Structure 1
Amino acid sequence: MKTLILFVALVGYTQALSYSDVLEEEWNRFQIDYTKFYQTEDEALLRRLIFVDNKRRIDKHNRRFMAGLESYEMGVNQFTDLLPKEFQSQMLSSLNITEAEGLIEFRYSAPRDVDPPSSIDWRAKGAVTPVMDQGEICESCWAFATTGTLEGQTFVRTGRLVQLSAQNLVDCSSTYNNNCGGGLAARALKYIMDNGGINTESSYPYQGTMQQCRYDSRNIGATVQGRSLVKDKSEANLAVATALYGPVSVAVDGTGLQHYRSGVYNNPNCTNDLNHAMVVVGYGHDSYDGDYWLVKNSWGTSFGESGYIRMSRNRNNQCGIASYAVFPMV
């Protein structure tokens, strides 16, 4: 009997040690994969503890995912050594949409006689530029959401796909209350309207910090004639707008996105407190997890599904995705 107890204890100890070994190996690989350097040993120790805690949370979630109890998978990414509050502080910002709603020229409501396709992916049609990484210094998601919708809308109208400069918006639209602390697509589009255009990414590349405005009228990549807000915070209106006009800038509650890897992000705890801007570039249906929005993010290709996230669609405007959906008229 004592031998059996000792054997069970040894097996438990070996399993625990094995998991610890795995965590240690993943921590070492994480530092290499994401080029993580820490200034002091104390900071490295703190980040390791946070990483291990996050990894345990990821593994617990993924056990539920494998059991069919969750619709999406979590995984290690560039944010796994951050506390939730640090992630929110670095990557998210409070978006005050109330004052901006009154400044938009048009409200979009889907015509009654329009039957949108069951799915659409503007990437496949050539309307979407590569995923960019806003970095961890500048909260410029609003700038990439603006360029993303304008790039797509311009392609639909002209057949030309031109990558536009988010840095142009970060540097030059501060008088419209946009900066590295946050901003809104509506205000950025107003800057482009008043300015007579926005520069191309190739002529004005992204730097990830706010710098002196260097706009050059010789390098205009697109112009804006007006702005439209999807009416009534309606997902049905957003779907038709996306299908007929092209990619649409949206704002969501991104608080729970820190560890997203793949699948349809269905989070019943998501709120309508909008703090992150992205671009809807399509929508569809997953046979296991239901309807989804195909959303382009600005956290690099190591995040999510090669830089994209599929967010729940037709679940009572989950995460507020249709609450502030804006697209330009070009």
Structure 2
Amino acid sequence: MVCSYAVRRLAKKQHGKSYHSTEEEHLRMNIFAHHLKMIEEHNAKFEAGLVTYSLAMNHFGDMLPEEVPQLGFDTTGEMMQEPSFTFLPPANVEIPESIDWRQLGAVTPVKSQGSCGSCWAFSSTGAVEGQLFRKTGKLVSLSEQQLIDCSGSYHNTGCDGGRIYSSFTYLMDAEGLEKEDSYPYEALNGTCRYNKDKVVPGTKLKAYTNIRYRDDDALKAAVATVGPISVGVSANHDHFRFYKGGVFNGDTCKYMIDHAILLVGYGSENGEEYWLVKNSWGAAWGEGGYIRFKRSIKNICSISSMASYPVLQ
């Protein structure tokens, strides 16, 4: 495939791409052009009303799927660990038709994990941030870097991947999490410098709770009555990577769970029910950093296969 000047200009100027050799540039521009064609063809279907979501070019444009660093969810043994509790939907409680924990004040601004496979840390802190808000009424941005640097002995491997339950188990043993400001994000593996005197009061855990496997109704009840929920999904496919907006129907999802994100609500638009999910790829991705998954498809992209939340002390 011979790439046009327009493709090169788009890749270099708008998306900041540069390369070490003409051979690498040729390879990367071919990949970029392939993705651009795929996006344009899909968006033509979107404009015609044939699909419910749109795509857009972004910084993944010149990468092969196996090169995408911004995943990092290690599911090895994730379901083997006995949870502290299993969520039971509350009896005699009416579950609302919609909920958005952003509007209720329980969700911090969208963050970016950069080129570090630390999605698990962002999902974990997001869930703790939500529970802390529900308990204290205060929204505090917590440190993902502390989890990256300090939870290695709990089977997490920093930027090379990690597990949500391992993060929660670490926080059951540690005194809690520091603020983002006092232990800032660096997008790389570092030496643990956690200071127990700087932890945010109330962020130590006494347990964590799993949602029943593949139970969408239980997941809906949990996010409605508990708050933001950590979930794992299948994300390493083109339509997720280049998602721009609308209700994602999961037509390109695989069975492998490879990414951790934060479920912050659900609702419907024009009769289309959706899950509202916060990603950690920055606000330029998706709908201001969020994606909506089609809720009428059971366990879409495995969203209800691996869901949990922390229980504060």
Alignment match, 1:277: 260
| Higher Cα radius of gyration | 1
**How far apart, in 2, do the equivalents of 1:242 and 1:101 lie?**
23
Q: Are the structure 2 counterparts of residues 143 and 94 from structure 1 closer, same or farther at C-alpha, using a change threshold of 3 Å?
A: closer
Shift, 1:108, TM fit: 0.3
Alignment match, 2:135: 157
Shift, 1:98, TM fit: 4.3
Deviation sequence 1:265-294 (CA, Å, 0-9, x none): 102342332110000011111216x11111
- Conservation of the 8 A alpha-carbon contact between 1:193 and 1:226: yes
TM-score computed with the length of structure 1 as normaliser: 0.88
SS in 1 for 2:59: coil
Deviation sequence 1:63-91 (CA, Å, 0-9, x none): 1111222111011111111123323xx23
**How far apart, in 2, do the equivalents of 1:30 and 1:154 lie?**
41
SS in 2 for 1:132: coil
Aligned residue runs from structure 1 range 55-74, under 5 A: 55-74=36-55
Root mean square deviation, CA, Å: 1.9
Amino acid at match of 1:304: G
**How far apart, in 1, do the equivalents of 2:73 and 2:112 lie?**
20
**How far apart, in 1, do the equivalents of 2:67 and 2:11 lie?**
18
Q: Give yes or no for the alignment of 1:227 onto 2:227.
A: no
Alignment match, 2:62: 81
**How far apart, in 1, do the equivalents of 2:27 and 2:190 lie?**
32
Alignment match, 2:166: 187
Aligned residue runs from structure 1 range 119-138, under 5 A: 119-136=98-115, 138=116
- Conservation of the 8 A alpha-carbon contact between 1:268 and 1:318: no
Q: Which runs of 5+ in 1 are unaligned?
A: 1-21
SS in 1 for 2:86: strand
Alignment match, 1:314: 296
The total of aligned residue pairs comes to 306
Amino acid at match of 1:220: V
Alignment match, 1:11: none
Q: Report which of the two has the higher share of helix.
A: 1
Alignment match, 2:122: 144
Identical-pair percentage: 40
Deviation sequence 1:163-200 (CA, Å, 0-9, x none): 01000000000101112221111110110110121111
**How far apart, in 2, do the equivalents of 1:267 and 1:99 lie?**
23
Aligned residue runs from structure 1 range 270-309, under 5 A: 270-287=253-270, 290-309=272-291
Shift, 1:93, TM fit: 4.0
- Conservation of the 8 A alpha-carbon contact between 2:213 and 2:306: no
Shift, 1:300, TM fit: 1.0
- Conservation of the 8 A alpha-carbon contact between 1:278 and 1:296: yes
Alignment match, 2:85: 106
SS in 2 for 1:128: coil
Alignment match, 1:52: 33
SS in 2 for 1:199: coil
- Conservation of the 8 A alpha-carbon contact between 2:234 and 2:259: yes
Q: Are the structure 2 counterparts of residues 122 and 24 from structure 1 closer, same or farther at C-alpha, using a change threshold of 3 Å?
A: farther
Q: Are the structure 2 counterparts of residues 117 and 101 from structure 1 closer, same or farther at C-alpha, using a change threshold of 3 Å?
A: farther
- Conservation of the 8 A alpha-carbon contact between 2:230 and 2:309: yes
